[in-house]
Chains A and B, each alone.
Chain A
Amino acid sequence: MKKLLLATALLALGTGLAAAQTVRLGTEGAYPPYNFINDQGEVDGFERKLGDELCKRAALTCEWTTNEWDSIIPNLQSGNYDVIIAGMSITDERDEVINFSENYIPPAASAYLALTPDVDVKTAVVSAQVSTIQAGYVAESGATLLEFATPDETVAAVRNGEADAVFADKDYLAPIAAESNGELVLLAEEVQLGGGVGLGLRESDTELKAKFDAAIQAMKADGTLNALIKEYFGEAAVTF
């Protein structure tokens, strides 16, 4: 009898734990305004707000963690966290190894940032962050690709003359150009890449994907997602 009671208690405890399983959200923390570590040392930005809201709507307990961009997919697969929420564009190559949720940012423009507006991006030295769609695009464009581990280093390379231009999401580069006192300018040429930004999940986590998909659809339907996009990327941002 005692054993039976103990077993039931353990079972109850076990299922209780399983129900309250924390979902760990992994982000890069170096890509404002998408995601960054704020001055209090916490994850902040568009994706912080979005992620918290999605977890609330899906009734999940979520916890934030940061990981280097370069190893963000392998560490998802080895189970260090359950969701990638790091401004990751949906591409076919990535879709082969992980699952993407519905996109929460529509396909947006990538842009070049340079010291002068007359850089020829087909022949110049162009910096981009490693393992991004932008890096892939530059490699095929004929320009010389210079890769860096963090977004900040790609911009620093232009400032100190190592690269002629940096290629990244326009939403990341626009505030940098605006606050550089005219030192850096966005080039007129813009490129549409990828299928928008989505959450990255393990292929085996179909249940979790369904929950997040439903939450994203709900946010699209009631207009809160568009409002959030405008809050962080400006009134001119592409919305759903």
Chain B
Amino acid sequence: MFASCADPSTLDGLNWLACYLTTGKHLDFYWSFATVLLLLVITAPLALGMGFLGAIASRSPVLPLRWLGRAYTAMVRGVPDIVFFLFFVIALDQGLEWLLHQVVCPDWDQPIRQGTEFRVCPQAKIPSGNADAFWYQVDGFVRAVITFALVFGAFAANVIYGAMQAVPRAQLETAEAYGMSNRQVFRRVLVPQMWVYALPGLSNLWVILIKATPLLFLLGVQDIVYWARELGGSKTSAYEYPHPDWRLWYFLALLVFYLLATWASERALGRLTARLSRGQATAAGEAMRKAGI
């Protein structure tokens, strides 16, 4: 990066460290933090959306829809995350390629499964075989987002379902007495009031989601844990910057990152809880009313 870093073997002390910490590999490491944050920012609203839909389906008066909602939450919640990640990603990958294969290569005569091989026609590969490495990273990232959204959506569905049941019946009855239709009651009373009950559960999920991001590596995304392990391992002079085993320091940096991320989240969620409790028919809302906040 700097001109003075051209020949690392002549450097020592702080100069060496400065050059070491700005190698291309370290820049990849720093970018991977952005990847993780981006994943969180995209996944959280998606998972919340999935959860919301799941909760509505579970409460639906239509029986098949209710089954669907309950089956979704029960199945995903009942399988360990890591198993789901290992299974689902391969299934999703092969399923999509198989579908695409049926569409674009209808006259392909060879079998798709040949023993342990999975062969679709070259046009049906996702991403296409000619795509450069960047698109493979994007592909892995998108698969990660879908998988995380599905898994955490199931947990969120249960939390939101419970929160909807927790809204006092009197509130809904009052709305009905004003002549609101079911939809209006749902939209104007149930949903706005449910959040305060859902928030403790959802904030737990958010923190668990942050901590689940190292699973990214299972999906082929080169995340912070991958780079910490790769950079921290001892290096011989085959590398420009040889060093002994420094994994401890790299993992310490990850520890600080995760602690900071969860600490900042705790604070933000605390404020949100206070804000949502204002004017609500809950003990917290009542306490705020009495204190005159």
Which residues of A approach B to under 8 Å, CB–CB?
14, 17-18, 20-22, 24, 29-30, 32-33, 36-42, 45, 63-65, 67, 74, 77-80, 97, 150, 152-153, 155-156, 159, 175-176, 179, 202-204
Q: Which of A14, A37, A179, A204 contacts B237 (CB 8 A)?
A: A179
Q: How far is the CB of A224 from chain B (nearest CB, A)?
A: 21
Bound Cα distance from A199 to B93, whole angstroms: 25
Which residues from chain B sit less than 8 Å from chain A, CB to CB? 8, 23-25, 27-28, 90, 93-94, 97, 110, 114-120, 122-123, 125, 129-130, 132-133, 136, 220, 229-230, 233-234, 236-242, 245, 247
Cβ–Cβ contact B236 & A41, under 8 A:
no
Check if B25 sits within 8 Å of A38, measured CB to CB: yes
- Contact with B230, one of A30, A45, A155 (Cβ below 8 angstroms): A30
Q: Is the CB of B114 within 8 A of A41?
A: no
Closest chain-A Cβ to B77's Cβ sits at a distance in Å of 27
Closest to A33 in B: B238
In the complex the two chains form, what is the Cα distance from A234 to B133 in whole Å? Answer: 33
Q: Contacts A152-B233, A176-B236 known; list 19 others, CB within 8 Å.
A: A14-B123, A20-B130, A21-B130, A37-B230, A39-B8, A39-B23, A39-B239, A41-B25, A41-B28, A45-B238, A63-B132, A65-B133, A74-B116, A78-B93, A80-B220, A156-B234, A175-B237, A204-B110, A204-B114
The CA of A124 and the CA of B90, in the complex, are separated in Å by 39
The reply to whether B119 and A204 contact each other, CB–CB distance below 8 Å, is yes
Complex CA distance for A148 and B256, rounded to whole angstroms: 26
- A26 to B: closest C-beta gap in Å: 11
Beta-carbon contact of B242 and A77 below 8 Å: no
Please name all residues of chain B whose beta carbon is closer than 8 Å to the beta carbon of A65 when the two chains form the complex: 133, 136
Cβ of B47 to closest chain A Cβ, rounded Å: 27
CA–CA, A150 and B220, complex, Å: 16
In the assembled complex, the Cα of A97 lies from the Cα of B116 at a distance in Å of: 8
Chain A residues within 8 Å of B110, by CB: 204
Q: Is the CB of B25 within 8 A of A78?
A: no
Q: Which residue of A lies closest to B117 (CB)?
A: A77
**Is A41 a contact of B27 with CB atoms below 8 Å?**
yes
Q: Is the CB of B236 within 8 A of A203?
A: no
* CA of A79 to CA of B98, assembled, Å: 13
CA distance A63 to B241 in the complex (A): 26
